[in-house]
């Protein structure tokens, strides 16, 4: 069918359009196609950014800066020591990008203009195999020139020294790098050159930061102009042995592995084979007849586009029954940057005065950073607060300190979005949420103790001390926390084997006390003379080996109607009958001459001497007063240096340490019976007095008290040995050693020359720095 002029022009136009479309698609094999949004080109339109040209690089007006010492040390460790966990660099950069997006979204709640420069909040990853670069871009809050210098040239002191020390001891610690705020530097695991372009709403210009991970970096105004609108773009020039990170498949797997639960879209520039229409070339003289029924011809071609990787719905918004164990484990790792699976979790929805959803996790191990933050009153940032899926803050203290080892998410529906973080902390809704979280956490611990005793023992090994701290601090939860604790005892010496409820169930008739003994370890307690009489009578003794235990029981005086009794302090009540009491009184009268002599002989150390009701095989025991320090408590406090931190505490400690003790004697021991005879016959010699002093000192050690004068004790032992082998106390050892030579004149002159140079190298790093 012949075409009229109008039809001919229409077809010709379509043919020409088809021709240019084919040409564009052919060009696209070399360069990714543009993705338009509302007909406006965004920083995410192209897969790859416009590179700085050689001319631009040559003409850059840069300022050079030197890295902070800690940064240089860190990068030296990363570059030269840490290779097996290199892939974590992508997790760290994505997490930083997510934080930047969170910040700009939070600002936009009170300042709608904050997102005006770019409302498209996302993270993109694009690899360029040709230039061997990997580009990660976000539309977050961005950085000013000053922030580029401060944030990427120095490290905040908090946690850095601890991190570097751990890294130098064990390179496996790199897996925890993000927890110390130094995650950016992990890029040097895979890159030998890094370029960071960033644009902030607070700076009219876009700037670039560059470094080759030696000891300095440069900052300059970006000659490409404001290509980002707002946000940060990191370009990694990969090392040859890191080219595998240019592969699309590997990038997607890493995003899914580490960052699938990031709340912002993560897009990877991807290629795929698609069927595209084929438009044949035509001669100018040819006419084409329309054919409605003819199928259009297609061919397979490689096209590029963004692929959304983290499509998973926020885990806390889903039904808890639909979430697998594996999903919880992966979400926990994404949330915390931890590499180990959590011990347990609680996923729940709070209803009533305020509606919210939450997920709480117990990390498998506690970090030193937790205790450092407790000491310095810093937040452990355990909970991320969201309101209607919008991240608000991780600075809000939703958990008390003793529960801040938990990690998790809280997403509330009924809280205002336009309040400051300071006001938010005092919001009534948060107090309600906190009560719910504490209850759910305690329920989680209880369920773990019943469902998986082995895992619960691991939990107590890590967090038992913190639960005791919580019981001391929080009277409201004291009984519940105490019931969750587990201890070793004379019934079962395995760690964390018995609860206080178990102990009470096994208690003897009319037993009114919970007997316990403190020590550094179970072996030490089992050798103590204090436990002899109780074990002989069939009483169970709880073995406290945690340094906080004695403080714990002082603040928790009883449990379910029974009082704690430290068998190393004060009197012990065995609930004995009148006949036993009468026998004890008779023994007191019988041994009074000996006890009075012991008090006069050992008056520097003891306040009184009494007949013991707790000894069966040992001759003596030294007991602290009821309100005094036991031997174990004194050793713990001395080791912690408590007395040196506070002058007032030093005086109190010295007063308690110098308290005179109570000496208990075993009336059934042959040594005590013989001594009684010698005292009654007034047949006490100087040697016998010296032996009594030695016996007291050895008993002091056995009772857990440190000796005041170790030299005097050693002298007495040596004197006893000399007498036993027949050597005079006055006979001295023969000294046969050669005296060291005095310095020669040449050595003295060399020392003088060294002084004149006045060079002092404190460390090997200082020497290396001067050489450079």
465 marked among binding-site residues: no
Q: Say if domain 315-448 classifies as CATH 3.30.230.80.
A: yes
The string of DSSP letters for 622-659 reads: EEB-TTS--HHHHHHHHHHTHHHH-HHHHHHHHHHHT-
143 marked among binding-site residues: yes
157 marked among binding-site residues: yes
Cα–Cα distance for residue pair 486/467, rounded to 1 Å: 11
Looking at residue 15, its pLDDT comes to 35
183 marked among binding-site residues: yes
Q: What is the pLDDT of residues 594-644, one digit of tens each?
A: 999 999 998 888 888 999 888 888 899 888 887 777 777 777 776 666 545
User: What is the per-residue burial (b if ≥16 Cβ within 10 Å, else e) of 669-707?
Assistant: beebeebbeebeeeeeeeeeeebbbbbbbbbbebbbbee
159 marked among binding-site residues: yes
Looking at residue 4, its pLDDT comes to 45
449: Cβ–Cβ under 8 A, 6 or more apart, which residues? Answer: 456, 484
613 marked among binding-site residues: no
356 marked among binding-site residues: no
- Looking at domain 486-575+631-648, its CATH class is alpha beta
Cα–Cα distance for residue pair 252/274, rounded to 1 Å: 20
3 state SS of 293: coil
CATH tag, 54-271: 3.30.565.10
Tokens of 298: 């297609």
Q: In terms of Cα–Cα distance, which of 745, 771, 772 is closest to 759?
A: 771
496 marked among binding-site residues: no
180 marked among binding-site residues: yes
Enumerate the domain spans of the chain.
5-28+274-302, 54-271, 315-448, 486-575+631-648, 591-624+659-725
pTM above 0.85, yes or no: no
Find the helix or strand (DSSP H, E) in which 345 lies.
strand 344-350
3 state SS of 664: strand
321: Cβ–Cβ under 8 A, 6 or more apart, which residues? Answer: none
CB 95 within 8 A of CB 183: yes
561 marked among binding-site residues: no
Q: At the topology level of CATH, where does 591-624+659-725 sit?
A: 1.20.120
In this structure, the strands spanning 488-489 and 513-518 are unpaired
SS (H, E, C) 502-523: HHHHCCCCCCCEEEEEECCCHH
Q: pLDDT below 70 — which residues of the chain?
A: 1-48, 68-85, 154-182, 213-214, 279-295, 373-380, 390, 416-426, 574-580, 638-657, 757-772
Looking at residue 297, its pLDDT comes to 77
Cα–Cα distance for residue pair 751/763, rounded to 1 Å: 20
**Assign residue 294 a region: left if phi > 0, alpha if psi is -120 to 50, beta otherwise?**
beta
Looking at residue 57, its pLDDT comes to 75
Tokens of 763: 């460390």
184 marked among binding-site residues: yes
Residues forming a β-bridge with 63: 219
Q: In terms of Cα–Cα distance, which of 417, 437, 440 is closest to 427?
A: 417
138 marked among binding-site residues: yes
């Amino acid at each position: 069918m012949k075409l009229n002029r109008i039809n001919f022009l229409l077809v010709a136009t379509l043919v020409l359009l088809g021709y240019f479309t084919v040409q564009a698609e052919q060009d696209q094999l070399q360069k990714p196609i543009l993705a338009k949004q509302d007909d406006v080109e965004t920083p995410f339109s192209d897969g790859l950014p416009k590179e700085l040209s050689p001319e631009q690089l040559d003409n850059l007006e840069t300022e050079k800066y030197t890295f902070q010492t800690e940064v240089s040390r860190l990068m030296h460790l990363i570059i030269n020591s840490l290779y097996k966990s290199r892939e974590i660099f992508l997790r760290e950069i994505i997490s930083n990008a997510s934080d930047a997006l969170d910040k700009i979204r939070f600002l936009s709640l009170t300042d709608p203009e904050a997102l005006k420069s770019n409302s498209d909040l996302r993270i993109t990853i694009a690899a360029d195999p040709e230039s061997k670069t990997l580009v990660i871009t976000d539309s977050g809050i961005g950085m000013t020139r000053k922030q580029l210098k401060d944030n990427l040239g120095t490290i905040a002191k908090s946690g850095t020294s601890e991190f570097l020390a751990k890294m130098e001891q064990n390179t496996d610690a790199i897996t925890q790098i993000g927890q110390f705020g130094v995650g950016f530097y992990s890029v040097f695991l895979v890159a030998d050159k890094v370029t960071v372009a960033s644009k902030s709403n607070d700076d009219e210009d876009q700037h670039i930061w560059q470094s080759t991970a030696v000891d300095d970096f440069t900052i300059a105004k970006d000659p490409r102009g404001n290509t980002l609108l707002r946000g940060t773009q990191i370009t990694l020039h990969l090392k040859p042995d890191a080219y595998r990170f240019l592969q699309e498949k590997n990038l997607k797997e890493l995003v899914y592995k580490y960052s699938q639960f990031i709340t912002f879209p993560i897009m990877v520039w991807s290629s795929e084979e698609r069927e595209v229409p084929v438009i044949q070339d035509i001669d100018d003289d040819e006419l084409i007849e329309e054919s409605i029924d003819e199928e259009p011809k297609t061919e397979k071609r490689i096209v590029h586009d963004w692929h959304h990787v983290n499509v998973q719905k926020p885990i806390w918004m889903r039904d808890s029954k639909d979430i697998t164990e594996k999903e919880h484990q992966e979400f926990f790792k994404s949330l915390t940057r931890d590499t180990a699976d959590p011990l347990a979790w609680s996923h729940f929805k709070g209803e009533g005065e305020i509606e919210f959803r939450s997920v709480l996790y117990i990390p498998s191990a506690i970090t030193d950073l937790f205790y450092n933050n407790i000491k310095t009153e810093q937040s452990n940032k355990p909970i991320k607060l969201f309101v209607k899926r919008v991240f608000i803050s991780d600075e809000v203290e939703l958990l008390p300190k003793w529960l801040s080892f938990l990690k998790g998410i809280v997403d509330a529906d009924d809280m205002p979005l336009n309040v400051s973080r300071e006001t938010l902390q005092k919001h009534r809704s948060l107090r309600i949420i906190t009560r719910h979280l504490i209850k759910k956490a305690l329920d989680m611990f209880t369920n773990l103790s019943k469902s998986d005793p082995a895992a619960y023992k691991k939990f107590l090994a890590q967090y038992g001390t913190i639960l005791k701290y919580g019981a001391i601090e929080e009277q409201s939860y004291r009984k519940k926390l105490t019931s969750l604790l587990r201890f070793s005892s004379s019934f079962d010496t395995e760690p964390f084997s018995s609860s206080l409820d178990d102990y009470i169930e096994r208690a003897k008739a009319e037993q009114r006390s919970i007997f316990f003994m403190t020590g550094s370890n179970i072996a030490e307690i089992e050798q103590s003379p204090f436990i002899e009489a109780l074990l002989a009578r069939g009483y169970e003794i709880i073995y406290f080996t945690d340094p906080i235990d004695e403080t714990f029981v002082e603040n928790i005086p009883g449990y379910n109607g029974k009082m704690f009794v430290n068998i190393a302090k004060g009197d012990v009540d065995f609930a004995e009958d009148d006949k036993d009491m009468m026998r004890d009184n008779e023994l007191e009268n019988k041994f009074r001459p000996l006890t009075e002599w012991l008090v006069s002989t050992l008056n520097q150390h003891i306040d009184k001497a009494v007949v013991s009701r707790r000894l069966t095989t040992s001759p003596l025991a030294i007991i602290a007063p009821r309100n005094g320090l036991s031997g174990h408590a004194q050793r713990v406090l001395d080791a912690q240096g408590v007395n040196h931190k506070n002058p007032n505490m030093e005086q109190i400690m010295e007063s308690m340490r110098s308290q005179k003790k109570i000496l208990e004697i075993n009336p059934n021991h042959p040594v005590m019976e013989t001594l009684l005879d010698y005292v009654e016959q007034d047949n006490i010699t100087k040697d016998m007095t010296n032996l009594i002093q030695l016996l007291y000192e050895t008993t002091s050690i056995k009772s857990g008290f440190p000796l005041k004068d170790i030299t005097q004790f050693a002298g007495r032992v040596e004197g006893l040995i000399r007498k036993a082998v027949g050597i005079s106390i006055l006979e001295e050892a023969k000294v046969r050693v050669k005296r060291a030579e005095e310095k020669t004149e040449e050595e003295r002159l060399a020392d003088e020359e060294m002084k004149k140079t006045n060079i002092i190298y404190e460390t090997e790093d200082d020497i290396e720095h001067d050489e450079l």
